[in-house]
Structure 1
């Protein structure tokens, strides 16, 4: 896939930033153009509508999720451990994309609601072959949500989980996760 033009990325970054900082209602075409430092015509050249911006943001999120999944699948500690560990990472490119799409979803965007649902299915399906039961799989997903929520609440002062590896061992054991060597 060829790299999109820099101006297009700058506009998409601006859309994401406005969503994260000011919310969905503030993310008008005029506000995004101003944030990106481009004319409205320049914005419209790359994105003909707010829906086009939303579709591009979802595409960005999907791409970042795919890269993240590749890393998790290759992690020698196993997919479940990598998934829980990665949930403690907030503020990175993937987190910003997911949060921005989530903001759109929480304001009723059907496209974004579906994208967030697909994301959950992606995680579910990646973990499923390594977990004995659906209940164990749900345990991993919910613990991961809790780890993320814990860290997202304290931006700038991330509370460390006392012993992340002990938490991972406890959860993966309770969930019936197969060892990475299996």
Structure 2
């Protein structure tokens, strides 16, 4: 009798945890099976090779990225506000999958998948602001927010971030910049902020 479908997710969860916590070299088939609480045969039933596990993780990332893209484009507060708020690492399932995928940089398919996620974010932001340079600035702001939230050196000795980003003010500045770059005409900032 085949293992229950939940076993496949447990294997992917274990692979993700090992990648995030200990890196790619530690995420062997044996280690993943132990972490998932399945036999090696059970793991191989779902993922006959390590490459198959990598592809399974990337499929998970694509699915979560598609959900995030839909949420971002429909966000009442606007695309830019959503993007910047979610750029602060919050340990969501999507965050963990993204971090795990970054640990697989030695795999061309992981690099391509991560670049694809980045392109989707950029396309949504660029569509919202209507300006390539402003969109690039927003993307870099998101990168900085993510780094500040996740980098160990970004914490002061008190254990709190050295500075707290005010995303609302950032969104307001982006809206003002979009208005200025469009010649001061009343631009549709609804897609920038709600």
How many angstroms does 1:163 deviate by? 2.4
**Deviation string for 1:62-115 (max 9, x for gaps)?**
11111111111111221111111111133111110000001101xx11010000
> Conserved in 2, the CA contact under 8 Å of 1:137 and 1:175?
no
Instruction: Tell me how far apart the structure 1 counterparts of residues 25 and 7 of structure 2 sit (CA, whole Å).
Output: 23
Is 1:169 the counterpart of 2:172 in the alignment?
yes
Cα 1:147–1:44 change in 2 (3 A) is: same
Cα 1:16–1:75 change in 2 (3 A) is: same
Deviates more, 1:59-68 or 1:165-174: 165-174
Query: Aligned to 2:145, what secondary structure does the other structure show?
Result: helix
Structure 1 alignment gaps of length 5 or more: none
How many angstroms does 1:139 deviate by? 0.3
Instruction: Tell me how far apart the structure 1 counterparts of residues 160 and 189 of structure 2 sit (CA, whole Å).
Output: 29
Normalized against structure 1, the TM-score is what? Answer: 0.89
Normalized against structure 2, the TM-score is what? Answer: 0.84
How many angstroms does 1:149 deviate by? 0.7
Instruction: Tell me how far apart the structure 2 counterparts of residues 59 and 76 of structure 1 sit (CA, whole Å).
Output: 28
Residue aligning to 1:14: 14
- CA RMSD, 1 decimal: 2.2
How many angstroms does 1:121 deviate by? 0.8
> Conserved in 2, the CA contact under 8 Å of 1:80 and 1:140?
yes
Cα 1:162–1:133 change in 2 (3 A) is: closer
Residue aligning to 2:48: 48
Residue aligning to 2:69: 69
Deviates more, 1:161-170 or 1:84-93: 161-170
> Conserved in 1, the CA contact under 8 Å of 2:129 and 2:191?
no
Query: Aligned to 2:25, what secondary structure does the other structure show?
Result: coil
Instruction: Tell me how far apart the structure 1 counterparts of residues 90 and 145 of structure 2 sit (CA, whole Å).
Output: 10
Query: Aligned to 1:89, what secondary structure does the other structure show?
Result: coil
> Conserved in 2, the CA contact under 8 Å of 1:19 and 1:100?
yes
Structure 2 alignment gaps of length 5 or more: 180-186
> Conserved in 1, the CA contact under 8 Å of 2:16 and 2:57?
yes
